[in-house]
Amino acid sequence: MISYLYNIFLFIVTIYASQFPISVSKCPGEDSLRYCLDQYKFKGPVNFRDDFSAYNKDIDFEYNRLTIYFPIAFVHPLDEFDVQIAIQCGTELNIPTVARSGGHSYEGYSLGGEDCSLVISLKYFNNITIDAISQTAVIGTGIQLKPLYYKVHKYGFAFPAGLCPLVGVGGHMLGGGMGFLSRKFGMAADNILDAKIVLANGTVVYSAKKYPELFWAIRGGGNAGYGIVTSLTLRIHPIPKIVTRLIIDYDFDQIPLLFSVLDRLGPNFHQNLTVYIVINSDLGPSPSTSIDCIYLGSADELRQQVDVQEFIKLSKPKNVTYIENSLYYFQVVKKIVPNGYYKPSSFFFDQRGIPDEGLKYFMQFIKSFKCKVHSKTLLIAGGKVNEIRRNEISYVHRGFKYHIFLAVPLPDAHSEETKECIQDLENFRHAFQNYASYECYQNLIDRQLDNWQCRYYAESFERLVEIKRKYDPYNLFRWNQSIPTTTNISC
């Protein structure tokens, strides 16, 4: 009977997710996991593979469909006690266990690093409490950025985090978290004041700051396997009711001039201004090129910023647009990038900027690349991110001038065109890395990245391994690029 049901399930999954040619069969230990969860009286929903509709809905929640795994089950705890039970069962049965917040891992690690992992979904940890007097927010790690942005906006505050409002806060903030307020307030991880975390041994740590090494580790490495963080206490920041979005349009061949002027003037921009250079190759015969900025203040104030106006004059744009509105409006009004197939790359550049030869190679790649490509370059120089010491938290990427994020939308998961584009992107990454820093951003996880341990965590890596060994000695929370309990790698 069980075999018959799984044949039906395989047929349904094949139809539902035919783009993922992955064989689905019953996981070892599934019956034992059912018994364990029942025995310890797990209260929340549990979706095993034979719960066709619910299980498929959990799979469908994943943002990037390029790499899909099929977990042994999705468990949806209602409280910390449920989390403890799920961890206990994962430990007893030696099932690799992962936390899932927004499902935005670019390598599908929120589904585990292999089939038959146990996924602990945090969707019911969705409370948001604002304390305007202490200027703090306590949030569940199962929420997305949009409700957080809305709630702090209602109280006249903001929080520095990512550009996509549908990203889950858990992995995003624990891995760093950069966005439109980074130059003013730093990374999201820089603004974490405390955390509640359930450890691999089932202990609930109600205040991570009482465990300094653990608290250090989760702010930058916390999305890499230290426990299940169920809530975060955040520092929130009062901002003006009206902010300005500045959009400056250019021709693609103006990029060298744009960067030349920005190299010189950008570090002196007021920290109220966060700057992205945005390049898209899918909007016409020539890649669209613009600067997209958020300024914490009115358009009139921004027009009085001498460095900004000089930059506009010297970079010779085609068009300049000032738009006033609330920050929340700008955070959510942008077009939402749909679920699909994506491959990312990440590059940091030191205070010398991008060499002319490197910029030329970058432009040549964008124009000749057979797939679409989307690029965002964040100006880091002159901002709060670089005022924080490199090892103050485990997020180490300080002192840089730019960060470039490349996202490649792919046609599907396994076609020849997709394989060719991934290989071409990988070839570009290897060559372009010669012009960039050795470091890369851990939230833009890439399974093909060589020596990822040092690229993501640099000199923090060995300390992260030591702390991992202390708090998760049997490596319960594990996937392809999680922090291991042992290593021979020295960064």
Higher pLDDT, 334 or 183: 183
- pLDDT of 25: 79
pLDDT band for position 151 (cuts 50, 70, 90) = very high
In angstroms, rounded to a whole number, what is the distance separating the alpha carbons of residues 489 and 451? 9
pTM value > 0.85: yes
pLDDT, average across residues 195-202: 97
Q: Answer whether 276's CB lies under 8 Å from 293's CB.
A: yes
Would you state the pLDDT for residue 3? 42
Tens-digit pLDDT profile for residues 458-491: 999 999 999 999 999 999 999 999 999 999 999 9
- pLDDT confidence of residue 8: 42
- Token couple for 474: 């049997």
State which CATH number among 3.90.1150.10, 3.50.50.60, 3.40.50.300, 3.40.462.20 fits the domain covering 243-451: 3.40.462.20
Of the options 3.30.465.10, 3.40.50.170, 3.30.420.40, 2.40.50.100, the CATH number for the domain spanning 27-121: 3.30.465.10
Q: What mean pLDDT value characterizes the chain? A: 94
User: pLDDT tens digits, residue range 164-188?
Assistant: 999 999 999 999 999 999 999 999 9
What does the pLDDT look like over 395-445, one tens digit per residue? 999 999 999 999 999 999 999 999 999 999 999 999 999 999 999 999 999
Cβ–Cβ under 8 Å, residues 444 and 406: no
pLDDT of residue 284: 63
Residues with Cβ within 8 Å of 409's Cβ and at least 6 positions away in sequence, in order, are: 282, 340, 341, 342, 371, 372, 374
Phi-psi region of 94 (alpha: psi -120 to 50; beta: other; left: phi over 0): left
Q: At what angle do helices 255-265 and 306-315 cross, to 10 degrees?
A: 160
Query: If pLDDT is split at 50, 70 and 90, which confidence band does 9 have?
Result: very low
Is the model's pLDDT at 197 over the cut of 90?
Answer: yes
Residue 229 confidence class, pLDDT cut points 50, 70, 90 = very high
pLDDT value at position 15? 42
Percent of the chain with pLDDT over 90: 92
46-48 sheet: strands from edge to edge:
46-48, 73-75, 118-121, 97-100
The residues with which 290 forms a beta bridge, in sequence order, are 249, 278
Handedness of CA 120, 172, 158, 207 (dihedral sign): positive
Percent pLDDT > 70 in the chain is 94
Query: What pLDDT was estimated at residue 12?
Result: 42
Residue range 89-101: average pLDDT? 97
pLDDT at residue 351, rounded to an integer: 97
Q: Taking a C-beta distance cutoff of 8 angstroms, is the pair 226, 483 a contact? A: yes
Task: Return the higher-pLDDT residue of 319 and 7.
Answer: 319
Question: What mean pLDDT is predicted for residues 341-362?
Answer: 97
Question: What is the edge-to-edge ordering of all strands in the sheet holding 192-198?
Answer: 128-131, 136-140, 228-235, 192-198, 204-205
CA distance 78 to 61: 19
Closest among 100, 111, 118 to 169, alpha carbons compared: 100
Q: What stretch(es) of the chain map to CATH 3.40.462.20?
A: 243-451
Do 442 and 409 form a contact (C-beta atoms < 8 A)?
no
- Return the biggest CA–CA distance within the chain: 75
CA 239 vs CA 132, 159, 295: distances in Å: 13, 10, 10
184 to each of 137, 199, 266, 385, 486, how far by Cα in Å?
18, 33, 14, 8, 38
Distance in angstroms (rounded) separating the CA atoms of residues 188 and 210: 20
Buried b (16+ CB within 10 A) or exposed e, 277-294: bebbbeeeeebebbbbbb
Quick one: which of 143, 113, 203 has its CA closest to 483?
Answer: 113
Task: Convert the pLDDT of each residue in 237-284 to its tens digit.
Answer: 999 999 999 999 999 999 999 999 999 999 999 999 999 999 999 766
pLDDT in tens, 276-307: 999 999 766 789 999 999 999 999 999 999 99
CA dist 272 and 266 (Å) reads 12
Beta-bridge partner residues of 319: 249
Provide the pLDDT for residue 427.
97
Length of the chain: 491
CATH level 3 topology of 128-239+455-471: 3.30.465
Stretch(es) of the chain classified as CATH 3.30.465.10: 27-121, 128-239+455-471
pLDDT tens profile 33-59: 999 999 999 999 999 999 999 999 999
